[in-house]
Amino acid sequence: MRRRERSEMVKMTLLMMVVMMSSMLMTMVDSSRTVQRARDDSEILRRHLLANGLGVTPPMGWNSWNHFNCNINEKVIKETADALVTTGLSKLGYNYVNIDDCWAELARDKKGKLVPKKSTFPSGIKALADYVHSKGLKLGIYSDAGYLTCSKTMPGSLGYEEKDAKTFAEWGIDYLKYDNCNHDGSRPTVRYPVMTRALMKSGRPIFHSLCEWGDMHPALWGAPIGNSWRTTNDISDNWSSMISIADMNEIYAEHARPGGWNDPDMLEVGNGGMTKDEYIVHFSIWAISKAPLLLGCDIRNMNKETMEIVANKEVIAINQDPHGVQAKKARMEGDIQVWAGPLSGYRVALLLLNRGPKRSDIAAFWDDIEIPANSIVEARDLWEHKTLKQKFVGKLTATVDSHACKLYILKPVA
């Protein structure tokens, strides 16, 4: 290469590097601005508005959206409540029966009150709440911090927060999912606390689920105003959607705590879009992430496989552990990941996750998962339902199939 050519090339390379670095800098400034804004908001909201005593452990139950979308009616809701009891799921903790979008008429009544949709909820929501309560369950409902809900078939609560919170309390509502569609362009940190105050004034403890989709880092400002906050956009019933949402939610692990949880959206287990192993991964990650366990399938028609997954008592116990600490990624090597989180009683929840196309060996080292170096550890395999005979020192290794996981509780015994 001649000298002139070479110096031209050096110049070009330098120029490209400058362009790339300045664009990287701009991106960093941009995202740090969003983070700074979220921090400012959390200062404003430092005083806890929400002292309802709810969500000491992540909520469990069912929500209508993932399976039924807008095709809901009081018969489906009642039959679901019945099925939660007859299947034994309610005894395992699944006690919220949550109605999502599309339950109300488009027009409010003369006094500005929300009106249950006459064609689908002819008996009204109060009667439904009474029915659900008679089964020992709780009723959840849905509204939106905007003028219309996302389906645009019913009004949102923006400007009607006190009236709607009072109506929900009168009806006997126990849980509100508060969505983020069709608003006035103001920030969620302006609109959401208004509903929090209204719920607190309503005279009934109502779980407040912020469904802001993670747009403005709600994990940084959600705790004073919500019992849970969505950290991501909507889940779809497929592997890539589920696993990408799990990743996004993991970033905020430090912010989960009793009374306020990161919410990576409702479960798709049983809806048919993933393999059994993939659904086991889905349920395992949601459990160790201390996510709300809100079933999203048709409870009236679950098959044995679905039931085996969602009724795994030991996995549910991780989710409901009083310690309330969300698990995190401890080691990532390509498609191989180790997730872990502390549990009560000096135990550790350990997930070995194979996201790749081939069966692989995965090792978890005590060093990575915060177990003291010399500990001898007993391992319980929660999907095999057995305590392994071998005791482990320094690490645990297992072979994991493609798009599958192993979930253990590790207990130091010496």
Ligand X SMILES: *[C@@H]1O[C@H](CO)[C@@H](O)[C@H](O)[C@H]1NC(C)=O
- Residue 326 contacts ligand X per CB under 6 A: no
Which residue, judged by CB position, is nearest to ligand X in the bound state?
236
179 is catalytic: yes
Neighbours of 18 (CB within 10 A): 10
73 vs 402, which CB is nearer to ligand X?
402
- Residue 120 contacts ligand X per CB under 6 A: no
- Residue 236 contacts ligand X per CB under 6 A: yes
174 vs 265, which CB is nearer to ligand X?
265
In sequence order, the 6+-apart residues with CB closer than 8 A to the CB of 130 are 172
In sequence order, the 6+-apart residues with CB closer than 8 A to the CB of 341 are 253, 288, 325, 326, 327, 328, 348, 349
From the list 179, 237, 298, 321, the catalytic residue is 179
DSSP-H helix ranges across 148-213: 161-171, 188-201
- Residue 240 contacts ligand X per CB under 6 A: yes
Question: To the nearest whole angstrom, how small is the minimum distance from the Cβ of residue 235 to ligand X?
Answer: 9
Q: DSSP per residue over 202-235, as a string?
A: TTS--EEEE--TTTT-GGGT-TTT-SEEE-SS--
Q: Which residue from 31, 34, 123, 238 is in contact with ligand X, where contact means CB under 6 A? A: 238
82 vs 234, which CB is nearer to ligand X?
234
- Residue 233 contacts ligand X per CB under 6 A: no
Whether the Cβ atoms of residue 188 and residue 12 lie closer than 8 Å to each other: no
Question: To the nearest whole angstrom, how small is the minimum distance from the Cβ of residue 232 to ligand X?
Answer: 12
- Residue 397 contacts ligand X per CB under 6 A: no
CA–CA separation, 165 and 182 (whole Å)? 19
Q: DSSP per residue over 94-135, as a string?
A: --EEE--S--B-SS--TTS---B-TTT-TTHHHHHHHHHHHT
From the list 234, 277, 335, 368, the catalytic residue is 234
361 is catalytic: no
Token duo for residue 95: 């006690």
- Residue 357 contacts ligand X per CB under 6 A: no
- Residue 241 contacts ligand X per CB under 6 A: yes
Q: Which residues are catalytic?
A: 179, 234
- Provide the binding-site residues for ligand X, judged by CB under 6 A: 236, 238, 240-241
